[in-house]
Every structure is written in C-alpha cells, then in structure tokens.
Structure 1
Amino acid sequence: MRWPVIILAVLVVVLQYPLWLGKGGWLRVWEVDRKLHEQREENTRLEERNAGLDAEVRDLKSGNEAIEERARLELGLTKPNEIFVQVPQKH
C-alpha cells in the first residue's frame, strides 16, 4: 500500500516540474509578462518624448519665431540695438 502512494507522488512531481519550472512554465510566463509590462511603459514614455520632439521640429520648420526664441534662450543672442540683461536667480 505504501509503494503505490510513493510512486504516484513521484509521478505527480515529475509531471508538475515542467509546468512550473520548465522552459515554458508558469514562472517563465510571469517573468515575460513583467518584462512586457516594463517595455510597454518605456514605449509610452518614448512615444511622448518623440511627440514633443516632433512638435518642436515642426515649429522650427514653420517659422522664424521658434528659431529666434531658441537663439535667444540657448545662445544668448540679441537683435541689433538691443541690450541683453541677465538677472541671477536666488535659490
């Protein structure tokens, strides 16, 4: 009576191993699902960044105001007969 129970227990363990720990087992599925979720979040973040960059490119291509604004802010350029004044910020 004892041997059939042991044999059945071993058989159950042998059959369950691939389901839980094998190449296509549940643990692997959960890991892949977690990675998929992380990748989707990263894709969303990058899509938002790309949309912002696309809008900036369109703005720069469409008119001189955007180019002038960038030249003033990033390069400190001024128009003729214009005085540049920089006010330091207090922290």
Structure 2
Amino acid sequence: MGNRFVPLFLLAALLVVHAQLWFGRGSVSNVAALQQKLLAQRSANDQARQVNERLANEVRDLKEGLEMVEEKARSELGMVKPNEILVNIGK
C-alpha cells in the first residue's frame, strides 16, 4: 500500500513544479516579458548616455571656448579684469 503513494506523490510534485514553470513568478512567459523590458531599458540607457556625452562635450567646448576668447582678448586687445593690475614685460 505504501508503494502506491510514492509514485502519486512524485507525480503531484512534478505537476506542482511544472505549473510553476508555466504559470508562476519565474514562468517562461514572465521571463520573456522581463527580457523585453530589459532590452527596452538598455536601449533607453544607451540613448540617455549619448545625450549625456553630447551635453558634456558641449559644456567642455563652452568652457574651453571662453578661456580661448579671454586669452585672445588679453593678448591681442590688452583686456584687464576689474581689480587686476596689468604688468607688461616687453622686449
């Protein structure tokens, strides 16, 4: 009599595991949906990364550009900021 319950128990356990595989939290359809969400999020992250890099390049160009403008103004036009003393050591 005990030998009959072992196969029934194993069959019931198999059904429970199989049901979890198809309908549970880690089911095949759930994993596929999460993979699609992951791909979409990675794409959005790549786009955001490109925008961030472009903005960082623009900021760097603006900073360097202002320094270049100030350097040219000082050397070519003799620009002096307020509270600065110009000392010209010439040849």
Q: TM-score range by the shorter chain?
A: 0.5 to 0.7
Amino acid at match of 1:22: G
CA distance in 1, matches of 2:14, 2:57: 60
State the 1:14 CA deviation: 4.5
CA distance in 1, matches of 2:30, 2:23: 7
State the 1:64 CA deviation: 2.8
Structure 2 unaligned blocks of 5 or more: 1-11, 70-91
Deviation per residue, 1:20-40 (Å, 9 max, x gap): 110111111101100000000
Q: Output the TM-score relative to the length of structure 1.
A: 0.53
Instruction: Indicate which of 36, 39, 42 corresponds to 2:41.
Output: 39
CA 60–13 in structure 1, closer or farther in 2 if over 3 Å, else same: same
Amino acid at match of 2:44: E
RMSD: 2.7
| Structure with greater Cα Rg | 2
Instruction: Indicate which of 23, 33, 37 corresponds to 1:21.
Output: 23
State the 1:16 CA deviation: 2.3
Deviation per residue, 1:51-85 (Å, 9 max, x gap): 100000001111239x9xxxxxxxxxxxxxxxxxx
Q: How many residues align?
A: 58
| Structure 1 equivalent of residue 66 of structure 2 | 64
Structure 1 unaligned blocks of 5 or more: 1-9, 68-91
| Structure 2 equivalent of residue 50 of structure 1 | 52
- Seq. identity, %: 37
Q: Output the TM-score relative to the length of structure 2.
A: 0.53
